[in-house]
Chains A and B, each alone.
Chain A
Amino acid sequence: MNMKYDNNVKLMKGNEALAEAAIRAEIDGYFGYPITPQSEILEYLSKNFNEEDGVVLQAESEIAAINMVYGAAGSGKRVMTSTSSPGMSLMLEGISYITAAQLPCLLVNVSRGGPGLGTIQPSQADYFQSTKGGGHGDYRLIVLAPNSVQEMADFVFDAIYLAEKYRNPALILSDGTLGQMMEKVRLPEKGSLPKSIPEWAAKGKIKNKERNIIYTSAVDPTVMENLNKELQNKYALLQQEVRYELSQIEDAEILIVAFGLSARICSKAQEMANDNGLSVGLLRPITLYPFPSDTIYKLAQKVQAILVVELSAGQMVEDVKLVVNGSCPVFFHGRMGGEVPTPDEIFFELKKITDKQAVKN
């Protein structure tokens, strides 16, 4: 992908930057239903999307919205939806179908505290739902986790690029804070993502060619297992797209693993810790699926301990433990339901770990 950027620096909300990026990524359609903290996406598009360029439609529910995405994506168009946690739960059946039919589309979850109706504050408790499939059947989403307004915009392009490359939905897993906060952003320019109508699209049968059928069912389990194998092969290939960010990992004694908003808070705590004589590195997974397993494993051989910080009761920490496989102790600190840890809180956790490790040594 050849990204070109606007020279102007703008001050924008995360949700609005994402919506503007969607226009610049030349989507043909957006279908969605209002829910805080992401309604600005639908609002911004309703106001700023040019009718000649496609459609912005407020659906009657998230169920309808995701099925509109399914139909439009099935016809080969570049389409998206966005929602927040409860809405994501409603979309899961449709997402399972879209994945089975191997259609590209962009999904956005500006997640909030749960379970239930929960809060409108930020949360990362949809990690399992996002990275393990979520709906029924053996499928995965490509999952990108931004940690700034800039990345809210950039990842629209990355997600669409990957979705179309692998014919699989790609999800931007954001949260209420990233959606609502304002930051400086340089927006990608139109034309960075070429598009064409794919040959598999159901958009009217071409003469003397086989018709295109978008479907997800099979009577014969052998046929269904073969489709599953195809999906699994695709997910194996997808591993090459893994992305992460490292900071100060040379000589690090403790490694923090955190994504999105918590990675930002952790980077402040890391600074405090290193100023106080600790030696702390940070790994921020940018793709949550595929997961940076190899890198985490390698680092686990060098550090004394790992601290995973999440806005949840501990979900990604399970993946970290699986990868680390006992190579070093893995600690966890999390806040739930929309609460966010302070850098001090995390610094305190780091000190506790250092003390424990020192006793052991």
Chain B
Amino acid sequence: MINKCEIEDLELVYEKPKTLTDTPMHYCPGCGHGVINKLIMEVIDELKIQDKTVGVAPVGCAVFEYRYMDIDMIEAPHGRASAVATGVKRVNPDKYVFSYQGDGDLAAIGTSETIHTVNRGENILMLFINNAIYGMTGGQMAPTTLIGQKTSTSPFGRSVKNNGFPLNITELISKLDGAFYVTRHSVHKPNSVRKLKKAIQKSFEYQKENKGTCFIEVISNCPAGWGMTPLKSNEWLEENLIPKYPLGDIKVPTKN
């Protein structure tokens, strides 16, 4: 870290969140996970809830996010983060609890936990990082992989015949009565980053009011898994993923 006094004479225009540790992140260059990790901590800083928050990390590329987040955290088994978060929240209703999961974690192995956590309206924030691939295990097909998209287990492109259709789980859970706020964002442009931050902020505020489950999908990139440069991956994301997973609010709280 740069020593503060070295830049004493300069005007401070940007600072990393205080609750983000100095541990170098293990994510590949250009990966969306790092941006999302940082945004969560920015919001926790601004809301001053570091001492009241428990995060639940997934098994996936974000498994070590607790190295970067200076809050109490629990590392869940693959797919079970929302059940672990339910456990924490139910016996600590006064705490802010969030879970953070990839597409394999939340929409394949953990589908049952995802649906039932939302259906019970657990008063937590669920963050769903959709990069249409299994990043951590080396780029295998995910439930959200697009038709025709090549991965190490769909080397000729995902086919409907063999693999069925990409799973749009966010629209699915938005139909459940327990879902209070459901929204989809991305982190591939400065403007989308700002919007995502607002959504995270709102979700923690709703949680304070015991409103029910807040669910944020983030369309993210995986330059390593997709075999692209970070720049190219963001272009590919915009041209291919966003048309299939359109950005914006899916369920917003009705007035009164």
Interface residues of A (CB under 8 A from B): 28-29, 31, 54-55, 57, 59-61, 63-65, 67-75, 77, 79, 93-94, 97, 201-207, 211-217
* Contact in complex: B87, A61 (CB < 8 Å): no
Q: How large is the interface on B (under 10, 10 to 19, 20 to 34, 35 or more residues)?
A: 20 to 34
Contact of A203 with B92 in the complex, beta carbons under 8 Å: yes
Interface-located stretch among B66-74, B204-212, B248-256: B66-74
A67 touching B51, Cβ below 8 Å = no
Contact of B75 with A71 in the complex, beta carbons under 8 Å: no
Which of A59, A77, A213 interacts with B92 by CB under 8 Å?
A: A77
B195 within 8 A of A: no
Distance of B50 from chain A, by nearest CB (Å): 6
Q: How far is the CB of A217 from chain B (nearest CB, A)?
A: 6
Residues of B within 8 A of A70 (CB): 74, 76-77, 80, 84, 87
Q: Does B53 contact A (CB under 8 A)?
A: yes
A155 to chain B, nearest CB (A): 23
Give me the 8 closest cross-chain CB pairs, A-B, nearest first.
A71-B87, A68-B87, A71-B84, A67-B83, A72-B87, A202-B72, A215-B75, A60-B116
Q: How far is the CA of A94 from the CA of B50 in the complex (A)?
A: 27
Residues of B within 8 A of A63 (CB): 80, 83, 112-113
Max chain B CB contacts within 10 Å: which of A31, A57, A201, A211? A211
Total CB contacts across the A-B interface at under 8 A? 130
The smallest beta-carbon distance between B154 and chain A, in angstroms, is 27
> Does the CB pair B75–A206 fall under 8 Å?
no
Is B222 on the interface with A (CB-CB < 8 A)?
Answer: no
Q: A59-B116, A71-B87, A213-B66 are in contact. List 20 more A-B contacts (CB 8 A).
A: A29-B91, A60-B113, A64-B86, A67-B76, A70-B74, A70-B80, A71-B56, A71-B76, A71-B83, A75-B87, A75-B95, A79-B91, A203-B72, A204-B53, A205-B71, A205-B72, A214-B74, A215-B57, A215-B66, A215-B74
Residue of B nearest to A73 (CB): B87
Q: Which residues of B sit under 8 angstroms from A72, Cβ to Cβ? A: 87-88, 90-91
Evaluate whether A68 and B72 lie within 8 angstroms (CB atoms) in the complex, with A77-B92, A205-B50, A213-B66 already known.
Answer: no
Contacts of A31 in B (CB 8 A): 87
Residue of B84, B87, B113 with highest tally of chain A CB at under 10 A: B87
Q: Would A68 and B90 be within 8 Å (CB), given that A60-B116, A74-B84, A75-B54 are in contact? A: yes
